[in-house]
Amino acid sequence: MSIVDTPERRQLRELTRAFVTREVLPHLDDWERAGEVPRALHATAAKIGLLGIGFPESVGGSGGELLDSIIVTEELIRSGGSSGLVAALFTHGIALPHMVAAAGAHTGGSLGGRLGGTASPGEDGLIERYVRPTLAGTMIGALAITEPDGGSDVAGIRTTARRDGDHYVVNGSKTYITSGHRADFVTTAVCTDFPGSGELTLLVIDKGLPGFTVGRRLEKLGWHCSDTAELSFVDVRVPVTNRIGAEDTGFLAIMQNFAAERLSLATQAYATAQRCVELAVRWCRDRETFGRPLASRQLIRHRLAEMHTRAEAARSYVHEVANRVAAGEPVVTEVAMAKNVAVAACDHVVDQALQLHGGFGYLRDAEVERHYRDARILGIGGGTTEIMNEIIAKGIGL
């Protein structure tokens, strides 16, 4: 029996599929046009246990391993959802793991338990004030790392946090922040030395604090149902108890959690490819040209066969790498390769799928059109394809 096809994981797939069918599909087009998903969706997902997959029960999660989180993401997209929906509904997957890890709790889904460390006096408070409510669907969290002039250069972060008694005074700005408009709090990377020093610390900053401004909603090519914002901090006073882990340990924490984020994006990529294969096969069976179904033509059959092969190969490799990550193996290079392989497969498949749909594929009414737009971010988020290639090159000794 395949490790991804156990009775428990089949049930998890069925649960996810039922959730998408009942709670998502009737409303997704409206959410795309509104630019966000409703807060109530988080509570619904939490109630049935989906929101907490990959987080330990000790912090309010549903338990499960990294592969369980991957299965939920995969099935959500293959059931008719989208990678944009994953970004909006599961933003806590990048906002919470650092807190869970610092508190010393084991989490199979987000790698947090493997980050090590001893809980500081404020860590248990962070679990109670932020982690549990978020996994219960009553709060929304975001992660703020990227800055307007920073891109992938995490070590070059210029947002500063100056210690002033029992508070940090934060100044700076962040951009491209997923769920930034809806978030109640933001796990924020700040520099506790001079700007760009690389001495990073993670602070949890509550929305509504004086000096914390959420800027305009950023309009994007894809991921329309996932709100994205710019954030500004001007002399924002953040309690020291909102620090995650020890001071100047933020860079390591960010780097260690990148593996889970990159595998999530790889999953979104191959799952989008799989869904587009299914859509294209269905269309080519039903669509007739010159009195014959498209699928009756050898050229079309071979194109579909190639699309299916690429999607399935990417899925198998991502699963293999995820198992090695879950086992604690140091597979930084392999994670980068998994992301690039899955993104390349997705780019090819969504392009071919839209082409096979013809003029209909170019319309907003076509599901494949949404996947075509959404797929473009997957080679950028979590580290660009070019950054992944630099990691791979280093891994092979170049």
Catalytic residues: 261
Helix, coil or strand: residue 32: helix
User: In the chain, what's the furthest Cα-to-Cα distance?
Assistant: 79
Q: How far separated are the first and last CA of the chain, in Å rounded? A: 39
CA distance 45 to 54: 14
Helix, coil or strand: residue 3: coil
Instruction: Strands of the chain (E only): list them.
Output: 141-144, 160-164, 167-178, 185-191, 200-206, 212-217, 228-239, 243-244, 288-289, 292-293
Q: What's the chain's Rg over C-alpha atoms? A: 21
Q: Smallest Cα–Cα separation from 357: which of 269, 279, 270?
A: 279
Helices (H) and strands (E) in the chain, counts: 14, 10
Q: Give the count of alpha carbons within 13 A of 250, CB side only.
A: 29
Q: In this structure, what token pair is assigned to residue 366?
A: 């076509």
Length of the chain (residues): 398
Name the β-bridge partners of 191: 160, 200
CA distance 46 to 24: 14
Q: Could you give the angle at the alpha carbon of 156 between the alpha carbons of 170 and 394, nearest 5°?
A: 145
